[in-house]
A and B are shown apart, each in its own frame.
Chain A
Amino acid sequence: MSIVKRPDIKSSWYVTSIVKGMALTFRNMIYNIFHKDEMPTVNYPEEKYEYGPRFKGSHILTVKKDGSIRCTACMLCATNCPADCISITAAEHDDPEVEKFPISYEIDTLRCVYCGFCEEACPVDAVRMGPEWQQPGLNGSSFVHDIQHLTRRPNLKGGYLSILDEEERHNSGI
Chain B
Amino acid sequence: MKQRKGLSWLWFALGMVYFFLPLAATFLFSLRGKRDVLSFVAYKNVFVDPIFLRTFSFSLEMAILTVVAGLALIVPTAIWIHLKVPKAKPVIEIFTLLPFVIPPIILAFGLIRTYSRPPLALVSSPALLVAGYVIVAFPYIYRSVDAGLRAMDLRGLSEAAQSLGAGWIHLLFLVVLPNLRAALLSATFLTLAIVIGELTLANLLAWPAFGPYMALMGRNRAYEPAALAVMSFGLTWGAIGLIQALTRSGRDKSAGLGTGAR
Are A and B subunits of one complex? no
